[in-house]
Amino acid sequence: MTDEPLVRWDWIARNWANGGPTAISALLENHVVMAFLPVLFGLVVALPLGLACVRWRWLYQPTAALMNVTYSLPSLVLFSIFLSITGLTRSTVVIPLTFFALAVLIPAVVDGLASVPDAVRQSAVAMGFRPARRLLRVELPVAVPVVLAGLRVATVSSISLVSVGALIGQGGLGNLFIDGWQRQFYTPITVGIVLIVLLAVLADGLLVLAQRLLTPWSRARRTA
């Protein structure tokens, strides 16, 4: 391995899109799907569950405790547990990562809604906003920065943790690490690291842009 260059560009060119499941482009596609599905599923579940925790405060502590226990477990342990249920499929990686995303997103939703000033809620009520309209037009928009902060953490974590799934044959770009290590070959490892970092940076940048688009009043306040 010491005689190998850090990157062999000819190997990348041959394996980027060779038409097989081990092509770099195919592994990248699988990595994106397995990384973003848990975040999407987690957000869909976290929003109503977070709203319930705000409505019934007694529900938040047991929910947060359960999610914290789940988050404290090593990802490989959860993958192994679901392996006996879902087999060597994407679900074996997606389901545990959804729980990890929930552990971040539920507190983000609760904290975001808790950050809405009472004066803002009272003003909305005085203007005749019903609860559903107040939630959609006032409370959720104000909570967006906090929720998106949690979403950024969940997204970057998911992109990183997917690679662990390579140990059970479902790791997207993580399979490049296994391939490089088994063959004592630097290039696949380097390509995997670079692509995962770039994917995380791109995803985080898109979420920052989404926050700017969803909260135009924050830009107006800074320029005032």
The per-residue pLDDT for range 3-18, each reduced to its tens digit, is: 666 777 888 888 887 7
Cα 182 to Cα 188: distance, rounded to the nearest angstrom: 11
pLDDT over 80 (residue 133): no
On whether residue 22 sits in a domain, the answer given is: yes
The per-residue pLDDT for range 20-67, each reduced to its tens digit, is: 667 888 899 999 999 999 999 999 999 999 889 888 888 888 988 888
Question: Residue 172 sits in a domain of what CATH number?
Answer: 1.10.3720.10
Structure tokens at 211: 């926050």
On whether residue 224 sits in a domain, the answer given is: no
Q: Report the number of distinct structural domains present in the chain.
A: 1
On whether residue 155 sits in a domain, the answer given is: yes
Structure tokens at 31: 């990595």
Report the C-alpha dihedral over residues 12, 16, 22, 27, rounded to 10 degrees.
Answer: 110
Identify whether the C-beta of residue 28 lies closer than 8 Å to the C-beta of residue 194.
Answer: no
Cα 31 to chain centroid distance, Å, stands at: 12
Cα 21 to Cα 137: distance, rounded to the nearest angstrom: 45
On whether residue 180 sits in a domain, the answer given is: yes
The per-residue pLDDT for range 70-106, each reduced to its tens digit, is: 888 777 778 878 888 887 788 888 998 999 999 999 9
Question: What range defines the domain where residue 43 resides?
Answer: 9-219
On whether residue 159 sits in a domain, the answer given is: yes
Cα 212 to Cα 62: distance, rounded to the nearest angstrom: 34
Share of the chain above pLDDT 90, in %: 28
